[in-house]
Amino acid sequence: MSGFTTNILILGKTGAGKSTLVNYLYGKEIAVARAGRPVTEKGLHRHEAFPYRNMNIVVWDSWGLEADKAREWWNDLREQLTQESGKPDIKDWIHTVIYCFDAKKSRLEEYEKEHILKPLIDMGYRLIFALTKWGLCSEEERNAARKVLAEACPDFSQIPVESVTQRLRSGRTTEQQGRNDLFREICLNLRGNLMYHLRIRTRDDMKNAVSRAEEATIRTFDRETGFFTIFGDDLKAKLEDEARRNYLREIREVYSVLRNNLSLIDGMCVEVIRGYTGIDVSEKLRELSRVLDDIGDTRIQAWDNDSAEYAATIITTVITLGFFSFFRTSVYRDEFVKKLQEVSSKLTGDLESFADNLDRAEAGVEQEIAKKLVSFR
């Protein structure tokens, strides 16, 4: 069995079919047992891993969402998702979110859209909608369900799911469906989900990094200056050197984490898809590296190999302090802070530029991977 585990979170309103979907995925009654915990217990609940096509799959689910407890439900969920996504190893993150939508009711409440789905998307999760109770629906209800979701969340996949086989009063029997289709969508969405999530996390890391660099450099300024300070070449050189050290230390760490996570995502993508489908997409990822070679940004090569020279150039160019004799410390400090903010802006802008290049190359690779998976059912 592969050493990789993929983590799936199943969410939805009370009565939307979360527990039956969990049971269907596992192939046995597991959700109702949950190691003795009551079904209505708050928080995220982790079920034991199970194998599927030589992969480990861990399903998490939560207490049911209800309109009068939506704020409490979201605050609880956000706190735990932040905790999980903050773990240093990307393999411990929640990789896929499946949202159960009761196709029979064909209705998406406003509080679901504004206070649940939108915040999840803003956190970097690309959702898979499981259209539950599909076997109970008329064709009219099915069309209405698809339309509602297409209007509210047009960029996310919809998978019809019937978790149980049962004989209806009409004499018709519903048949289970959707398990393999869900797993296929997990394959298709895993990489994009992680890459999007990683970009949001890296942006936050960069923001925090430049803030720490600014604060550390300003502390040096405050320590080295006073009422009778002569703002000359010696102080200028000292402050520039301190800014350079602080920014380089922080920026190197951001890009080091980004580089390591990109490599992890590559490995996970290859292993998860191979585990689910038997299809090898490693060549497609090598194509991504070649594309990035062509645009000159091979896996943050510019920062990995030349980060010291690159960042130092930005810092030196922006913090051109000039020569000051006697000057009011408060005025000089304000100007110095503005210069540091320019450095931070340029460095974060560079990250965004690189991320845009990466996104464009990544989009083509994801399309090629999707083509390779078309035949999988």
Across 49-78, average pLDDT: 82
Identify the CA nearest to 251 among candidates 200, 304, 297: 304
| Residue 352 in this model has a pLDDT that exceeds 60 | yes
| Residue 270 in this model has a pLDDT that exceeds 70 | yes
**301-318 and 233-277 helices, crossing angle to 10°:** 160
pLDDT in the model for residue 111: 84
Question: Residue 350 — φ and ψ, nearest 5°?
Answer: -65, -40
DSSP 244-260: HHHHHHHHHHHHHHHHH
**In 13-54, which ranges are E strands?**
44-46, 50-52
| Residue 31 in this model has a pLDDT that exceeds 70 | no
CA distance 291 to 337: 39
Under 8 Å between Cβ of 221 and 239: yes
Across 336-362, average pLDDT: 80
CA distance 21 to 10: 9
Identify the CA nearest to 140 among candidates 112, 169, 113, 105: 105
Identify the CA nearest to 258 among candidates 355, 189, 190, 361: 355
pLDDT in the model for residue 266: 83
Q: Which of 34-43, 140-149, 305-314, 365-374: highest mean pLDDT?
A: 140-149
pLDDT in the model for residue 227: 67
| Residue 35 in this model has a pLDDT that exceeds 60 | no
Interacting residues of 361 by C-beta distance below 8 A, sequence separation 6+ = 288, 291, 292, 295
pLDDT in the model for residue 150: 94
pLDDT in the model for residue 114: 84
Residue ranges per structural domain of the chain: 5-177, 190-373
Long-range contacts of 80-85 (CB under 8 A, 24+ apart): 80/43, 80/44, 81/9, 81/123, 84/44, 85/123, 85/124, 85/197, 85/201
pLDDT in the model for residue 41: 60
Partner residues linked to 180 by β-bridges? none
CA distance 297 to 355: 10
134 three-class SS: helix
Identify the CA nearest to 326 among candidates 204, 231, 195, 226: 231
| Residue 339 in this model has a pLDDT that exceeds 70 | yes
Backbone CA torsion sign across 205, 208, 212, 218: positive
**How big is the CA angle at 17 (ends 144 and 97), to the nearest 5 degrees?**
85
**Percent of all residues in the chain with a pLDDT value above 90, rounded to a whole number:** 16
CA distance 54 to 214: 48
Under 8 Å between Cβ of 231 and 325: yes
Pairing of strands 96-102, 5-12: parallel
* Mean pLDDT for all residues in the chain: 79
Worst-scoring range by mean pLDDT, 72-76, 88-92, 120-124, 286-290?
286-290
| Residue 337 in this model has a pLDDT that exceeds 80 | yes
Say which residue, 359 or 322, is predicted with more confidence: 359
| Residue 269 in this model has a pLDDT that exceeds 60 | yes
Taking only the tens place, the pLDDT of each residue in 292-334 is 555 444 444 444 445 556 666 666 666 665 544 445 567 778 8
**Chain center to CA of 110:** 24
pLDDT in the model for residue 240: 81
Question: What's the pTM value of the predicted model, to 2 decimals?
Answer: 0.76
CATH number 3.40.50.2300 is the correct assignment for the domain at 5-177: no
Interacting residues of 172 by C-beta distance below 8 A, sequence separation 6+ = none
31 three-class SS: coil
